[in-house]
Amino acid sequence: MLLKYQFDYELRQLTGFFAVAQLLHFSRAAEFVGIAQPALSRQIAHLEQALGCELFVRTRRSVELTAAGHALFERLLPLLGTLQRLPAELAAVSAGEVGQVRIGFTGLAMATVLPGIIRAFSQTHPAIRVGLAESPSAAQIDALHSGEIDCGFFHPSQEKPEGIRTRQLLREPNGVLLPAAHPLAQRKRLHLSQLGDTPFVLFPRHMNPGFYDRILSTCEHAGITLKIVDEIWPRANAIGLVRAGLGATFITPSEAKTLPEDILFRPLSGPAPESRLVAGWSTAASPSPAAQAFIQRVARG
């Protein structure tokens, strides 16, 4: 919605009024704002005419504020203070020292590299607010294209998305997360070929098609067809189904560092699906200075 503001008075008239209201003396106020007294008197007269009320009671010996003058003075205090700070604040925005950056992330990013990146960025840019939203990889790519987020941390697909620049942050083989009561849970390491009869909980393919296809391809290479009994997102829900004994799931060692006692992580010998994590940002639009500062931090490593 477009808003149109129209005033019958000018900022210089308000600053002139403010000077007289503080000093209660036209000559000293005129000297303070750097204009001649007759010009200041005309400014005040024009302001009173525009507002439709008298702002001062003038005598030959004194100047006093009217009730309307007092009300205007009280309302101008915060406004002129804001205007006085405005150049420095705008300079800080332009320099990328303040503002907001919107970040999308997956569970793997938050379990590995993202907290350290945010911590380092916040130390150098403490006035920039970092907004975080967990979302699947495919949704992050759409959000980068639409401008809903400034930077994403996601699993890359085989085809690099058009208009998005990426930097690889992590490559890590997955292990298997099993219920503690699973027959293979007592073994220290497993091979995918041993898991052909184990039901698995995955995520919907459209949320991360690259990783989904790597899982199926790796299982095929190991000589099994994965038995998928459910597809759910986010990862915490899949872990919950493993705890319920409904199946196993794939997870990286980084994500498995803190687990409840009723589920167990087992690394895989031989073929293992690999998780890959990249940071990505759009090249089709100019980011805000705050977002540009964050992207530069991520791009440097």
Among the listed residues 90, 96, 93, the one whose alpha carbon sits nearest the alpha carbon of residue 124: 96
- The domain containing residue 22 runs over which residues? 11-94
Same domain (yes/no): 27, 87: yes
Answer yes or no: are the C-beta atoms of 133 and 148 closer than 8 Å: no
Question: What was the pLDDT predicted at 4?
Answer: 47
Q: Are residues 179 and 208 in the same domain?
A: yes
CA-CA distance, 34 to 27, in Å (whole number)?
10
The arithmetic mean of pLDDT across residues 91-95, rounded, is 69
Instruction: Count CB atoms within 10 A of the CB of residue 298.
Output: 20
Q: What is the pLDDT of residues 164-199, one digit of tens each?
A: 999 999 999 999 999 999 999 999 999 999 999 999
Taking residues 79-103, report their average pLDDT. 78
Give the mean pLDDT of 224-248: 93
In a domain, 5, yes or no: no
pLDDT beyond 60 at 5: no
Question: Do residue 292 and residue 146 come from a single domain?
Answer: yes
d(CA 221, CA 160): 25
Shared domain check, 162 and 142: yes
Residue 2 forms part of a structural domain: no
- Does residue 2 carry a pLDDT above 90? no
Per-residue confidence (pLDDT) for residue 95, from 0 to 100: 67
Of 94, 128, 144, the position where a domain reaches its end is: 94
Residue 225 within a domain? yes
- The CATH code of the domain that includes 73 is 1.10.10.10
CATH number of the domain to which 109 belongs: 3.40.190.10
CA 281 vs CA 167, 207, 298: distances in Å: 9, 18, 10
Note whether residue 191 is domain-resident.
yes
C-alpha span between 228 and 77 (Å, rounded): 66
- pLDDT at position 93 is 67
**What band does 161 get if pLDDT is binned at 50, 70 and 90?**
confident
**Does position 17 have pLDDT exceeding 60, yes or no?**
yes
Asked if 163 and 212 sit in the same domain, the reply is: no
Residue 257 placed within a domain: yes
Domain annotation covers residue 6: no
Share of the chain above pLDDT 90, in %: 73
Are 182 and 196 found together in one domain?
A: yes
Q: Which of the two residues, 98 and 151, has the higher pLDDT score?
A: 151
Q: Decide if 161 is inside a domain.
A: yes
Mean pLDDT of 25-48: 92
Residues 43 and 63 in one domain: yes
Cα–Cα distances in angstroms (integers) from residue 159 to residues 64, 274, 277, in the given order: 74, 16, 14
Confidence at residue 78, expressed as pLDDT on a 0 to 100 scale: 87
* Number of domains observed in the structure of the chain: 3
- Provide the mean pLDDT of the chain: 90
pLDDT reported for residue 7: 58
Confidence band for 216, pLDDT divided at 50, 70 and 90: very high
pLDDT at 39: 93
Confidence band for 224, pLDDT divided at 50, 70 and 90: very high
Given a cut of 80, whether residue 44 has pLDDT beyond it is yes
pLDDT attached to residue 6: 53
Tell whether 164 and 282 lie within a shared domain.
yes
pLDDT of residue 61: 83
pLDDT at 183: 93
